[in-house]
Every structure is written in C-alpha cells, then in structure tokens.
Amino acid sequence: MKTERTTLKRLPERGAHDRETIDAILDEGLVCHLGVVDGEGRPFVVPTIHARHGDRLYLHGSPASRALRTSRDGGTDVCVTVTLVDGLVLARSAFHHSLNYRSVVVYGRATRVEDPVEKATALTALVEHVLAGRSAGCREPDEKEVKGTLVLSVPLDEASAKVRRGQPIDDEEDLGLPVWAGHVPLSIVAGEPVADAGVTEPWPGYDLSRARGTG
C-alpha cells in the first residue's frame, strides 16, 4: 500500500510498491534490521532473522530480548528494513559514487503471536527462511520451546522497495574524464558445510545456491 510515509521523497524513480518486488527482497535477505523506539524515546536498531508468510512478516526472539520486549504489550510501532547489497558503483566523480542495492522498508505495528497454530507456522517459516527444506530435517520445537519464544507479527500493508541497478550516473561534463567508471557486482556464496563434532549423518544435500541472500 502506498501511504504518505512510504512515498519516496527523493529519487522516486527508484521506488516500488508492488508486492512482487517487495516480497522477493524480503525473502532473499537473510536478516532484517528491526527499529524500535526505546523507553526514553531513542532509536534502537538490531539485526534479527525474519520470515515472510503471506501478508505478514514474522520476527522472533527470547522473551527477554530487549528490542522485542519493547514491542511486547499491545503492539508497538516498528520499522523493519531489509537490504541486499548488489555491487559497487564507481563514478567518474567522487560525488556520484554509490552502491547497487535492493531494499525494503516495512512500517507497522508489531503484535505478539499467541495462537499456537500461527506460532508454529511462524517458527517453521523462520527455519525455512534460514535454509529452504531444513525444517523437515531437524527436531521440531516442543511445547516448552514454543512457549519460550516470543514471536511478533508485522503486517505488510505499509511497505516500499527501493532498487538501484547498473551504471553510475555522472554529470555530462565529466563523461570525457580519463577515469575508469563502471560497476562491480557483489554476490554471496556459500562455502563447504562444516559438520559439528559427533555428526555421522551425511550432508543432506540442501541446495545452497538457494540460500537466502545468495540470490
């Protein structure tokens, strides 16, 4: 939904409000940055794992976690930002240096998930977000673990995406400068899995090219 808050004031050509673009970025980004306002009115930003499930974004943590505790009672305003850095943009002028990136900003009121069925769905989505296919291959949460985990839900009603791709945009008078200009793509790659001590099972063959964040 395009609201006053999600309407980009600058470089509006970089903005997108379609859910397809937004969902793809949320799903690919391995972590989000959760912003809340603390008890003294100051901002607090913490990285955490998120998972999108339909029209909602789920976050979790121990009930003792500070950022989530702030969001605990009756819902709290949050801002959740997911950023994928896709490359370096080297312009002819220092001024026009930039990064290629895709980002999503979600504004909303985070509320606690109390319903056990929704909570189980959210916890599965969070494991699947770390690695697709993993939730079926490990021990599922027991009742104590589900109770011991705080799960927050944020609606995706008020979200916007911003995307920068491709080459630098230099000033016309700089185009003839004897300076290399262009962009350098960056990507995330998975290394060899490292088994924990005592593990005798073979690597299950998860498709790591599909690991979130690796594009």
Give, as one character, the DSSP assignment of residue 7: S
- How far apart CA 87 and CA 27 sit, in angstroms, is 19
The first and second tokens of residue 166, run together, are 């491709």
Amino acid at 119: K
- How far apart CA 11 and CA 30 sit, in angstroms, is 26
Q: With respect to its own copies, which residue has the nearer C-beta, 21 or 103?
A: 103
Question: What residues contact residue 150 under an 8 Å CB cut-off, 6+ apart?
Answer: 60, 61, 62, 63, 65, 68, 69, 72, 112
Report the site for its own copies in 50-79 (rule: CB under 8 A).
62, 64-66, 77-79
Give the interface segment with its own copies, choosing from 13-21, 51-59, 111-119, 206-214 (CB under 8 A).
Answer: 206-214
Binding mask 16-35 for its own copies (x = CB under 8 A): --------------xx-xxx
Among 124, 125, 151, 152, contact with its own copies (rule: CB under 8 A): 124
Among 18, 55, 115, 140, contact with its own copies (rule: CB under 8 A): 140
207 part of the interface to its own copies, by CB under 8 A: no
1 part of the interface to its own copies, by CB under 8 A: no
130 part of the interface to its own copies, by CB under 8 A: yes
- How far apart CA 129 and CA 203 sit, in angstroms, is 19
Q: With respect to its own copies, which residue has the nearer C-beta, 55 or 63?
A: 63
41 part of the interface to its own copies, by CB under 8 A: yes
187 part of the interface to its own copies, by CB under 8 A: yes
Report the site for its own copies in 164-183 (rule: CB under 8 A).
167-168, 170, 174-175, 177-183
Q: In whole angstroms, how close is the CB of 66 to its own copies at the nearest point? A: 6
Give the Cβ contact number of residue 1 at 10 Å: 11
Report the site for its own copies in 83-122 (rule: CB under 8 A).
83, 85, 87-88, 90-95, 97, 99, 101, 103, 105, 107
The first and second tokens of residue 129, run together, are 């977000």
Torsion of CA 19, 187, 58, 131, to 10 degrees: 120
Give the Cβ contact number of residue 31 at 10 Å: 16
